[in-house]
Structure 1
Amino acid sequence: ELLGTNRSVVFFGHRGFLGFRSLYLDEYRDRLFIGGKDMLYSLLLDRASTDVKEIYWPPLPGQTEECFRKGKDPGTDCANYIRVLHPYNRTHLLACGTGAFHPVCAFIYVGPRGEHTFSLNPAYVETGRGRCPHEPSRAFTSTVIGGELYAGLTADFLGRDPGIFRSTGTRSALRTEVDQRLLHDPKFVATHLIPDNDDQDNDKAYFFFTEKVVEADSKELAIVSRVARVCVNDAGGQRVLVNKWSTFNKARLVCSVPGPGGIDTHFDELEDVFLLRTKDRKNPEIYALFSTVSHVFQGSAVCVYRMADIREVFNGPFAHRDSPHHQWSAYEGKVPYPRPGVCPSKTTNQPRRQYGTTKDFPDEVLHFIRSHPLMYKPVYPRHRRPLLVKKDLPHRLHQLVVDRVEVEDGQQDVLFLGTDAGLVLKVVVLQKTSSTTAEEVILEELQVFKVPVPITQMEISVKRQMLYVGSSLGVAQVRLHRCETYGMACAECCLARDPYCTWDGTACTHYQPSGKRRHRRQDIHHGNPAHQCLDQNLTVDDFENIEEKVLYGAENNSTFLECVPRSPQASVQWFVQRPPDEQRDEVKTDERILQTEQGLLFRQLHPRDAGTYYCKTLEHGFTQTV
């Protein structure tokens, strides 16, 4: 359906099997870079399916056979899946692949802006250990900061050495210690550079992941979500924590729904994180998608976190317990100076004590952070509750992208949620001005891939008003909106409640904040066409162009009257006018006449069923014939 309306373009790779693993949207060069199985692709965003360049990058000779001998699957494991794809400098990308369980990295020449060049020099391929996972599908995250790769991954063949690593630059490599107090069977989700203030020496890399914990009163492992951070200028310790992170701290991320008797429903499995950048680089809004790990209750939630709340937790008390059998408490002893976890900068320097690097930190600071990596207080979301909760869905939510859209009365955040069935949900959450409650509106359900395949990555281009959706099958380019599909009348456009769309006096079109205001009609919060469209063509009825269909049916046979409302929020009522009567009666449904989402099904026709049937939609107290 999306392909039919020219709303999407899908790239499957030239051999028909992409084996998609990574995506980098380069808006500076207007190019899309894709990493797949043994292949790298470069697509021009304006001509996504025509001018494609590719690099064939298989494992080194002998490595496929060795991978097979070690018991791995030759069809799915023993290939070079490109999992790292980042801009490195003005002319090169950094790319790393699994290399048939021998991770490899290389710099890809992409040329200056305006050139469509794409090449890899095999002479400069180097090991990817500590930069790229061995496995094609194990959870992993990475980013490049200042010419260095920061990665959260499992770094060995057997999958038993998880860590947060820094490599590739001129400084010596760093990693977390092998210690379950730091990382216990983590699943890495995202990593981002977020500055603390205008002093670059205070820049920190934040990692979002889940890990397993054993509480004192339970022997079972529980999953919790975490945010951790390290200083970008961390150089490790001089005698303690040599070539190890000396500023690593972590805190729990809570996303829960308050329940009866003070028992909350927790969403503990972090699935995805999206940073909504604002004008203030230091304070992006952090949108996080969670799912439950309970067998009793299946659901997903989106929580929004503020950087001020995250920093407050990291500046708060450290967690402490005397042994694994004790409960956690706030550490009340003396905390050494400089405070463990801070970066060496102007703020840590004192006249008699200069700390130009973490190697200058006293040993007691490093011993303390080694034994107290966890903060005592958790990070709570905005309003201490989720923005959105979805339960009992037929599919799981895996990916999240957010777009802040200018609307008639301010701004509105639109959420795009990718599922494990090739579907993208386009959702707005409308805060009620009078209370803390909110209304969730599913604007569209976009079936991006014909086959129900998990969506594994999504990127948004606000500049191009496009969503890029990746799955193992291929990468789709999908328009964020198609306002013209909302019909030919003011009421239909208004009832859609799509922040991207407005009625401009003659058609439903893309909202432009700078456009003419005179005929513009948009009502995201209430969707009230009676109020908005009084001076406009209110409904399709005014055009007298309601589609009429003549259907013939044989007695005792079945027949179907189709009627699908444009808005997912509308309820449908059927009326019938039987000659010679003028009045319209509501259709009574029973075992013989069934009302479905697609229309009205007559399982067995009777002669008295003949007549003119009207399909009417009701939404926000507004009725129209469709």
Structure 2
Amino acid sequence: MQPLLPLCVFWLLPLARTLEEDSPLDSVPRRSVPYHRDNGHLFHEEGVFNYSTMLLREDLDLLLLGAREAVYALDLKDISKKRGSVKWEVSQQQEDECKNKGKDPETQCKNYIRILHQTEDNRMYVCGTNAFDPECDYMSYANGKLTLEKKGEDGKGKCPFDPFQRYASIMVENNLYSATSMNFLGSQPVLMRSSPTSVRTEFKSSWLHEPSFVSMTQMPESYMSEEGDDDKVYLFFSETAVECDCYNKLVVSRVARVCKGDLGGQRTLQKKWTSFLKARMDCPVLESQLPYIIQDTYYLCNPQQHWKDCLFYAVFTPQSGTSDLSAVCAYRVSDISRVFAEGKYKTPVPVETSFVKWVMYSGDVPVPRPGSCIDNAARKAGINQTLDLPDRTLQFVKDKPLMDQAIQPIGDKPLLVRRGATFARIIVNQVQAADGEKYHVMFIGTEEGTMLKAVNYDGEMFIIEEVQLFKPPEPIKILKFSKVTGQLYAGSDYGAAQMPLATCGRSSSCMDCVLARDPYCGWDKVVRECVFLSDSPRGLIQSVKEGDASLCPDADPVKPMNRSIWPQGNLKLQCPSPSNLAKTSWWRDGSPLTESTRLQLLQDGSALILNATESDAGRYRCLSVERPKADTYTTTVAEYLVSVAPAGSDNRNGILPQAQMDGPSVAGLQALVGLLVVALLALLAWNFYKGHIPLPWNCAKKNAEQSQETHEQSGLDAYQDAVRCAPADDKALVSGANYSSSTNHTGREAAFSVAEEGSDSTKVTLQYIDDESVI
């Protein structure tokens, strides 16, 4: 077997090179922004959780935010300002019934708001889980007040029973399309339109098999259609694959579609979709053998574009614990539509092993084509609605709703693959940069409460920054974007956050602004600031594709900072790098700094001087070196003038080490010392009050009372009281008169006279030992 080893290595070498070229480890955010309240406006109300449903009411300048047992109306420009709210809590009876059914009363038996849509009369349609008994209602906003109409519509099939189950919904012309479960156990998944004619999917595993719903989108395919086609509603979800020949369950990603004008069949598929078709979606990631699972989608379409040229962006995560990669893939709507309109079908075939195998159907396809909408060709044949469709077409789509061809992403590969925080939600915004081109900027919410901002520049995936939105690392559960305010809105269990598309002010220099390669930002030479592109009337310095910072004017020199260090002392020189993609290098007196046991370069870019000597003095410069596509750019981040006190000098010579500038301030130390003095005085007063420390006059009074004892006893008691009243720091060693001659004569003597009534004073000698060897 050993001769095969070189052959295997030779065969795997091209694959290893491919993995290295497309390594997700290269996708590092240029800037990481930790949590700060200035990152964006936050909203959170004490005792309320699960802020995971949003509705933008730009006509009212409101963000409607659905949470657990509450709906809030927030200011669209600043969501920290609440303009109205309404509570929708379950009754005690509903909570008890839910508890009796085996559900947790603290988490599951509450009313989680799950549906929030605007109706044509400017009201809101809202649904909640309602303690595993879903219910819907209408809500209005007027005069700063949210009001529920309390109509109490049945929410089964519209809203999930389980508050933690994935679902999807969309409102089209006052008709609610929803994808959820019809029953308490969650075993009857449906895609349903509630009105005007209720239509749903079949309860068959070939239609929906243990699905996890993701999102829904309306596609205006009837607009200027030469075929007289109908609008579609697309549903994205994942489910257990029925077509897989494997022992274990395999989950795959799907996209399904139905026609808006579908009314169901006359005899076959009564009140069921006649146009329901589904296809597999692939997002191939090199490192995984198992398909990645879709988690969220975003429909990006320019109003001037034809619907076929629009795009779907989707985030994918692995279905096994062997990988920590996440991916983003983009799909053309035309590619999805073509699979449904022209692709082959899969058909189930029974085999001897008593299971069903799905293969490509190669037989005759009925006319009209199964799953198609009513178009001009069907109308010419006398079929004006789905109720007129022949049973042969309906039976075909009932048995074979799955397409054979899988939908591939643009370029047959992901736009972004990254190791780290799991991707959860995505928003994509189109922006025109200074070069006149339009770029698609992706904002990706993660399971750790961060927001990634990334762009694909001609195949190069570049992550501009990663911002921590929530102090607790809560997963981002929903993302919305307002074109009116140009703001992003994110929701989590803890609260909701609002952030701008760009914060150009984080770049303090022209080079940093240009190397950020943010299409929203550019350097204004007049005001010498990195500003929002649309806010400046002048041409800005920007280079998003190449990161060409040579366009920048010469930067102001960095002002050196003085640092002093005591001999044999330690000193840390900070070097805050402006970029995760930059490498830091240290120079001393014009030469590269060589690392040694006494001079260490830390991972954060700082330099550490240990056991300093006079040779460590000099001029230290920290340089940041960044290599974008254009060139290599070096900038001075920090400069220090380090001085070391002469060897052998000490405090007796009047030489004191200079205070470190990066330590605590003098004012801060003075305040700390003042607080400690006050605390010490308070402690002493308390001990005097409690009698733990006797007062001096108490000591004298006690000595006078003890003077009536015998002379020998008096001398002993006086000695004990003197010790108690002496300061603790003196640590006195005491000897009486009859044995004082045996003490060390190098000690210092102190005499105390103890007054006695009717007798001479007795002298007690205290000795203080200066030499420890005596002890």
Tell me the TM-score normalized by structure 1: 0.89
Give the aligned partner of residue 100 of structure 2.
Answer: 69
Are residue 512 (structure 1) and residue 534 (structure 2) matched?
yes
Instruction: Report matched runs for 1:477-556 at 5 Å.
Output: 477-488=498-509, 490-506=510-526, 507-512=529-534, 515-517=537-539, 520-530=540-550, 532-533=551-552, 537-539=553-555, 543-544=556-557, 546=558, 548-552=560-564
Q: CA 1:281–1:143 in 2, change beyond 3 Å: closer, same or farther? A: farther
Equivalence for 2:274: 246
SS of equivalent to 1:341: coil
Tell me which residue corresponds to 1:136.
163
> What does the per-residue CA deviation read over 1:556-613, in whole Å, with 9 as the maximum and x for residues that have no partner?
6655333222233222212233xxxxx343342669614223x325384433444433
The CA deviation at 1:402 is 1.0
Cα pair 1:495 1:567 within 8 Å, conserved: no
In 2, Cα distance between the equivalents of 1:445 and 1:244? 45
Aligned to 1:10: 42
Aligned partner of 1:440 in structure 2 is 461
Contact 1:3 1:9 in 2 (8 A): no
- Whose Rg is larger? 2
Tell me how far 1:512 sits from its aligned partner.
2.5
**Paired residue for 1:408?**
434
Identity %: 33
**SS of the residue 2:376 aligns to:** coil
The question of whether the paired residues in 2 share the 8 Å contact of 1:428 and 1:441 is answered with yes
Query: Structure 1 residues 90 and 552, CA, compared in 2 at 3 Å: closer, same or farther?
Result: farther
In the superposition, relative to structure 1, how do residues 514 and 491 fare at CA in structure 2: closer, same or farther (>3 Å)? closer
Among candidates 355, 370, 374, match of residue 340 of structure 1:
370
Q: In the TM superposition, what is the alpha-carbon distance from 1:237 to its structure 2 partner?
A: 1.0
Which amino acid in structure 2 is aligned with residue 293 of structure 1?
Answer: Q
Structure 2 unaligned segments of length 5 or more: list them: 1-32, 638-775
Aligned to 2:473, the other structure's residue is in SS state coil
Structure 1 gap segments, 5+ residues each: 432-437, 578-582
Give a deviation string over 1:115-153, Cα, whole Å, max 9, x none.
64421112x121111000011121111111111111111
Deviation at 1:554, TM superposition (A): 5.8
Amino acid at match of 2:541: R
Q: Distance in 1 between matches of 2:321 and 2:413?
A: 22
The reply on whether 1:561 has 2:586 as its aligned counterpart is: no
Query: Partner residue of 1:309?
Result: 335
More helix by share: 2
Do 1:491 and 1:538's aligned partners in 2 also have CA atoms closer than 8 Å?
no
> Residue 471 of structure 1 aligns with which residue?
492
* Alignment deviations for residues 88-124 of structure 1 (CA, whole Å, 9 cap, x no partner): 124211110010111010111135xxx64421112x1
1:237-289 CA distances to partner (integer Å, 9 max, x unpaired)?
A: 11111111111000000111468xxxx75542111101112222623210011
Please state whether the residue corresponding to 1:349 is helix, strand or coil: helix
Tell me which residue corresponds to 1:580: none
Measured against aligned partners, the alpha-carbon deviations of 1:433-478 in whole angstroms (never above 9, x if no partner) come to xxxxx32222111010111111111112233221111100000011
**For 1:398-422, what per-residue CA distance to the aligned partner results, in whole angstroms no more than 9, with x for missing partners?**
1111111101220111111111111
C-alpha separation in 2, matches of 1:321 and 1:555: 84
Distance 1:377 1:513 in 2: 47
Partner of 1:434: none
Give, in whole Å, the separation in 1 of the partners of 2:588 and 2:42.
43
- Please report how far the alpha carbon of residue 40 of structure 1 lies from its aligned counterpart in structure 2 after TM superposition: 0.4
Following superposition of structure 1 onto structure 2, how do residues 575-590 of structure 1 map, counting pairs within 5 Å?
Answer: 575-577=587-589, 583-588=590-595
The equivalent residue for 2:455 is 428
Report the equivalent of 2:622. Answer: 615
Deviation at 1:513, TM superposition (A): 9.2
Q: Distance in 2 between matches of 1:549 and 1:4?
A: 28
Return closer, same or farther for 1:377/1:457 CA change in 2, 3 Å cut-off: same
Equivalent residue letter for 2:215 = A
Q: Residues 343 and 190 of structure 1: is their aligned pair in 2 closer, same or farther, counting only changes over 3 Å?
A: same
| CA distances 1:134-187 after superposition (whole Å, capped 9, x unpaired) | 1112111111111111111122211211111111x3x23111111000111101
Is residue 234–residue 247 contact of structure 1 (8 Å, CA) maintained in 2?
yes
Q: 1:27 aligns with which of 38, 58, 66?
A: 58
Summarize the Cα distance change of 1:270–1:555 in structure 2 as closer, same or farther, 3 Å threshold.
farther
- Secondary structure of 2:307's counterpart equals coil
- C-alpha distance 601-422 of structure 1, shift in aligned 2 (>3 A): farther
State the match for 2:603 in structure 1: 596
Q: Return closer, same or farther for 1:281/1:94 CA change in 2, 3 Å cut-off.
A: farther
**Aligned mates of 1:296, 1:70 — CA distance in 2:** 37
Report the Cα distance in structure 2 between the residues aligned to 1:223 and 1:107, rounded to whole angstroms: 37
Q: Which of 279, 294, 299 matches 1:275?
A: 299
Aligned-partner residue type, residue 322 of structure 2: V
Please give the alpha-carbon distance, in whole angstroms, between the structure 1 residues aligned to 2:208 and 2:350. 17
Count of residues in correspondence between the two structures: 588
- Per-residue Cα deviation, 1:489-509 (whole angstroms, up to 9, x for no partner): x32221111111011223211
Equivalent position of 1:100 in the other structure: 131
Q: RMSD between aligned alpha carbons?
A: 2.3
1:367 aligns with 2:395: yes
Kept in 1: contact 2:464–2:516 (CA 8 A): yes
Separation in 2, partners of 1:589, 1:293: 47
Q: Equivalent residue of 1:192, what SS?
A: strand
Q: Distance in 2 between matches of 1:589 and 1:106?
A: 72
The match for 1:162 among 183, 189, 192 is 189
* Structure 1 residues 468 and 587, CA gap change in structure 2 (3 angstroms): farther
Distance in 1 (alpha carbons) for counterparts of 2:568 and 2:397: 79
Separation in 1 of the partners of 2:219 and 2:547?
Answer: 38
Shift of 1:18: 3.2
Classify the secondary structure of the residue corresponding to 2:252. strand
Distance, in Å, in 2 between the alignment partners of 1:209 and 1:555 is 67
Note the alpha carbon deviations across 1:510-537, whole angstroms, 9 max, x for none: 11298433xx21100111112x22xxx2
1:44-69 CA distance string (max 9 Å, x none) = 21343234200010124411111112
Which amino acid in structure 2 is aligned with residue 213 of structure 1? A
